[in-house]
Structure formats: C-alpha cells, structure tokens
Amino acid sequence: MALLNKSSAELEEEIAKRMALHPESCRRIGNFGFIELEDSWGDEATIINTARISSTNNRLPDAASFTEKDRKLLYQLLRDQHGTPFETVYFRFRFIAPIFVLRQWVKHRISSWNEFSMRYRKPISVAYLPDLQARSVEGFVVLDEEVMDEYEKLLDSLFAWYERNYSKVCARIDQCREQGIIPPKSGGRDPYRGRARELLRNVMPVAAYSDVYWTINFRSLMNFFRLRRKPDAQYEIRQYADAAYELFAHRLPLLASTMEQVLAETKE
C-alpha cells in the first residue's frame, strides 16, 4: 500500500498504544482494522433489578451475588423477550473498518453512531486488502494474485491522487490569499480547504477505512450478534461481529452464556 499520510500514521500509533494498554478489550482485524470495547454501563444485576422493580426493594449488587433463582430469571426474561430490562445495559465500541462494512453496520439503527468525517480531515490513507481466506470460497481462490496486484495499485493511485491534488489546492488557496484574491483565514474551519475536502473525498473507494464510535444497548447488540455472526453474513462484518462478541463475553460472561443458550434454542 501507499505511504500513510500524517493522520493515518498517528492513528496506527494510537491503535498500537491501545492494544498495549488494553489487550483484553481490543482486537486487530485485517490489514488495518481494529475494534475496542472502550466502556460499558450496567451488568447482569442491572437487568434483574430493573425487572424486579415492581416486586421488591432488594437489589443485587453484581452478578457474583446471583443465586440459581437469579440466573434462571435472567434466562427466562431473555427467552420470553422481556426486552426493556435488557435496554438498561450499554456498551461503547470504537472500531476502524472499511466503508463497505460500515454501510452494513449502520443498518442497525437502534444505536448511537459517530463517524470520522472527511469534511474536516483528510481520509485515512489505507484500504482494505482481503487476505487469502477472504478471497476464497470452499478452497477456491476467487481473486487471484494478478487481480490483487491490480486491486492494490488502483487503490494506491486513488490515495496518491487525493494527496497530490489536495496539496495543489491548498497551495493555490495560500497564493490567492497572499495576492488578496480571497480573504485571509479568520480562525476556525477554513471554508476553502473545507470545500476542497468535501469534493475530493468523492473519489475515495468503499474499501477505504473509517473510524466510528458506536454506543448500543444489549437488546440491540444481541440482534446485531444474531444477524452478523451467522455463517451466511458477509465475511468482513462477521469478523467484526465475532470480535465484538468476544470482547463483550469477556466483560459479561453470564449474560453472554445466557444469550448463547437462548439463541441456540431459537434455532431448534
């Protein structure tokens, strides 16, 4: 791939830093992908306490205090689709993924979505490169090395085109300012450079990576796992869904095992 631009190199350094600081909460995916479960609010006890609000003032402090009766209630609530108690537990993920994956992911609309914007910053100068497993179906390689060589060169040329032309535009803007043709920059976002970024981003491919904060409650997260971890889900989003599930299950193992039991019974 082409050389990383400054912000992309900084992002790569940040990913490495997060992996070193929080290895239990982070995963690398593909050639530049990344996902981290940055934070969560509530746990299995939150769900049980919410469900029992009309029947008792006693509150469970955490999942470690669960009795067998509590575990059975958690299962029954999830099995019988008593949804609102499961909306009281939230998760915030940060992920870096190809834009074509984001287009599938954003369809899960019952969540909060904050994405990196190419209106304000230059693109992440990295594109997704499918590895051999991603390019194969039942052992047959769909895209061979010759195609992949052209694929990579084409993507490199798009990033190079953006960098070259953004630099030319910025130089022309600066020159016109010196000549008094356009007004000087007055602070904040430069409208001239901003408009250039808005237009030049149009050439960016869906294989380019983007950066997202995703906040979601467990009820919606379970639906995401149910749909995107299925064998017939697209390979790339399935990788992210499997990684997100692994991070979630490490944090709330009882809720994860209960969900797995309910989903397995739903398939039967």
Q: Catalytic residues, which ones? A: 228
Read off the amino acid at residue 144.
Answer: D
- Measured on CA atoms in the order 64, 51, 259, 19, is the torsion positive or negative? negative
Q: Which two tokens stand for residue 110?
A: 């019952």
Paired strand residues for 95: 35, 212
According to DSSP H, which parts of the chain are helical? 6-21, 44-51, 68-79, 99-105, 145-178, 191-200, 218-228, 235-251, 253-267
Q: Which residues contact 163 (CB under 8 A, 6 or more apart)?
A: 5, 122, 125
Q: Scanning the structure block, which residue is given the tokens 């070193």? A: 20
**Nearest residue to 43 (alpha-carbon basis) of 218, 221, 261, 244:** 218
| Angle 194-209-26 from CA coordinates, rounded to 5° | 125
Q: Scanning the structure block, which residue is given the tokens 């992920």? A: 95
Question: What is the biggest distance separating any 2 CA atoms in the chain, rounded to whole angstroms?
Answer: 78
Question: C-alpha distances in angstroms, 154 versus 8, 16, 145, 147?
Answer: 19, 28, 14, 11
Q: Which residues contact 60 (CB under 8 A, 6 or more apart)?
A: 45, 48, 49, 66, 70
Assign 123 to helix, strand or coil: coil
